[in-house]
Structure 1
Amino acid sequence: MAATPSILSAHTMRRSSRMTFSELEEWEKFLSCKEQECKSRTQQLDERLQSLIDREDEAATQLSQVAKREAQNALSQLEEHFTCALCYEIMAYPYTLNPARCGHTFCAICVLKWFFSRLHRVCGGWHEAVDCPICRSDLMITPDRVPRSGFTFPFVPNRVASAVIESLIDKLAGSSLPVVKQEDPEALRISDADKERRKQKRGGLKVEDGSLSSEADLDGWRQGGASRNEWLKRDSDGKREMNILVQSWSMLGSHEFLILKQRLEV
């Protein structure tokens, strides 16, 4: 018959009571050796974990630097090639002046304000040609008689510039620092001080060659940023006012032109 657990336990206790002092010393040394091996193994695992964490942080830093360089490049292109000469901001809903010999492009709302600033407040008409604010090329004089031909409309949408600008601004909007997902069940083994160090390192990633002002500029163009919101408003206002003018251009009279001039606050 198999021995019951209570009998085995009693048998084990009797054997331990018969162990000699030298046997106990040997057993203690054995346990001590095993304990050291466990500690050594634990230390090796912690070192490997820390190495992986450091590599992860390094990868996150490199990704953030790449993202920031791309954002800086996008903002540089916008400022260099798509700055409105009237408001000195990034063009919003860009339109080009109609005469082929001119072709300069501005924000829709800016070019409308500039155009209607030449409208006579008394009669609501243009009695002389309006010239380009850059090259001084004359636009076609707006006929007083209606219906007007669509060829007399002084502006042309610059769809190529609009597509490039929107693409670059969308890139800036999504240029937040990437976050590397971590799923590490052994992260609990890291000390609180190490966790705080990692948090500060990730939360404060900076590119050494970037200035505080450039970082603030990039922040302004991300989702919810002041620069992006202001551009979206100018884009929306320009689109609304230009579409109204395009649709009703052929039949607008002096009274309607004066109302539009007042609404544009020029």
Structure 2
Amino acid sequence: MRRQNGKGAKDIQADSEAPAYSRTAVKPSYGPPGKASESRLKRWEESLRKTEEKLDSRKRKLDDLENAAKDARTDLNKRQKDVAKQGRELARAQKQLEKQQLAIAEKESAVAKQEQETQDLALALSTSRAEQLIAQLEEHFFCSLCFEIIACPCTIGSSRCGHTFCALCIMKWYFSRLCPDCCTWHEDLECPLCRTPIAAPKVVPADGNTPCPFAPNRMVDGAVAELLNTIRNESTASSGSSSTSPKGKGKGKSKKTEGGVISEAIALWGEGGASRVDWQDRNRRGHAELDRLTTGWTRMGPGDYKLMKNRLAAT
């Protein structure tokens, strides 16, 4: 067999011990490009072109996005500047408003102070006016029998003195001289002030020779009523909204109301005051009794005299 291969054992051993680099690789030989290579190249070029177009498109989109972002940043910066400007303007407006509010508050305070001063002055004038009227009333229109403001002024008409008293006071004094047994007058009657004689009926009922000794003094009655109404109006203006009037009588003290401080004398003679209510009651009763006496004088008998004496509580 070895003979047929043309090599002996030594030859085979020599071949196996030969170095490996003695073997050289055979390079493939390329021939000229064919149609298949050109087709692949065209496909690569077409693919490269499409890729480049996609890249260009993406680049344009990226540029557009960057431009849009830039515009958005520019717009945002502008808006931030506008907001900052508006904030500064708002702060200035707020300060201006605070100044105006402070000025308004000062003006309101000044106006309120002026109004209070005006009210105080009006109160002082009204109080002074009312106090003057009360002083005038007490000085010129008081009854010498009860020493109160005269109510239903009544004049001794049958005498020449002309003194005026409260109707209830002078009638009570007159009928206190009536004898309770025979219901006639046994003593001579005189004016309580000047001792001028006052006629008393000698016969009952009284005839024309003995007219009714009392007559209403309408001039004094009107003057007193006018003064009291003026005092009431002045006290209402002084007190504004008056509270409950104090009980009792007196003057010189002060009374606090919603409208200010007024004297107690004004409060007593104001609407609902104790002095005013007392005067109104005496005035009403006096007019009723005087009218009953003057209209029934020529018809009154001893029983009527006694009844009137008891009704007047003349003792």
TM-score range, shorter chain: 0.7 to 0.9
Provide the C-alpha distance between the structure 2 equivalents of 1:245 and 1:202, rounded to a whole number of angstroms. Answer: 44
Provide the C-alpha distance between the structure 2 equivalents of 1:23 and 1:256, rounded to a whole number of angstroms. Answer: 105
User: TM-score, structure 1 length as denominator?
Assistant: 0.77
Structure 2 counterpart of 1:61, which letter?
D
Q: Give the deviation of 1:56 after TM superposition.
A: 1.5
How is 1:35-114 mapped onto 2 (pairs within 5 angstroms)?
35-114=94-173
From 177, 182, 205, give the equivalent of 1:146: 205
The 4+ residue runs of structure 1 with deviation greater than 4 A are 13-16, 20-28
Structure 2 counterpart of 1:203, which letter?
E
How is 1:99-138 mapped onto 2 (pairs within 5 angstroms)?
99-138=158-197
Q: Give the deviation of 1:91 after TM superposition.
A: 0.3
- Corresponding residue for 2:40? none
Structure 2 counterpart of 1:17, which letter?
L
Residue 177 in 1 paired to residue 225 in 2? no
Structure 2 counterpart of 1:174, which letter?
N
Provide the C-alpha distance between the structure 1 equivalents of 2:264 and 2:257, rounded to a whole number of angstroms. Answer: 18
Provide the C-alpha distance between the structure 1 equivalents of 2:297 and 2:200, rounded to a whole number of angstroms. Answer: 14
Provide the C-alpha distance between the structure 2 equivalents of 1:202 and 1:36, rounded to a whole number of angstroms. Answer: 42
CA shift in 2, pair 1:63/1:150, >3 Å: farther
- Secondary structure of the 1:60 match is helix
Residue 205 in 1 paired to residue 264 in 2? no
Q: Give the deviation of 1:141 after TM superposition.
A: 2.6
Q: Give the deviation of 1:19 after TM superposition.
A: 3.8
Structure 1 counterpart of 2:233, which letter?
G
CA shift in 2, pair 1:150/1:15, >3 Å: farther
Q: Give the deviation of 1:144 after TM superposition.
A: 1.6
CA shift in 2, pair 1:86/1:202, >3 Å: closer
**Quick check: 2:201–2:210 contact (8 Å CA) kept in 1?**
no
Provide the C-alpha distance between the structure 1 equivalents of 2:78 and 2:94, rounded to a whole number of angstroms. Answer: 22
- Secondary structure of the 1:116 match is helix
How is 1:3-42 mapped onto 2 (pairs within 5 angstroms)?
17-19=76-78, 28-42=87-101
Structure 1 counterpart of 2:291, which letter?
N
- Corresponding residue for 1:254? 302
From 290, 293, 310, give the equivalent of 1:242: 290
Q: Give the deviation of 1:78 after TM superposition.
A: 0.8
RMSD: 2.6
Provide the C-alpha distance between the structure 2 equivalents of 1:117 and 1:258, rounded to a whole number of angstroms. Answer: 10
- Is there any run of 5+ residues in structure 2 with no aligned partner, and where? 1-71, 241-255
**Quick check: 2:156–2:215 contact (8 Å CA) kept in 1?**
yes
Q: Give the deviation of 1:59 after TM superposition.
A: 1.5
Provide the C-alpha distance between the structure 2 equivalents of 1:179 and 1:134, rounded to a whole number of angstroms. Answer: 39
CA displacement, residues 179-213 of structure 1 (integer Å, 9 cap, x when unaligned):
89xxxxxxxxxxxxxxxxxxxx9835237xxxxxx
- Corresponding residue for 1:197? none
CA shift in 2, pair 1:27/1:264, >3 Å: closer
CA shift in 2, pair 1:14/1:166, >3 Å: farther
CA shift in 2, pair 1:149/1:132, >3 Å: same
Provide the C-alpha distance between the structure 1 equivalents of 2:257 and 2:173, rounded to a whole number of angstroms. Answer: 47
CA shift in 2, pair 1:262/1:14, >3 Å: farther
CA shift in 2, pair 1:91/1:20, >3 Å: closer
CA shift in 2, pair 1:15/1:162, >3 Å: farther
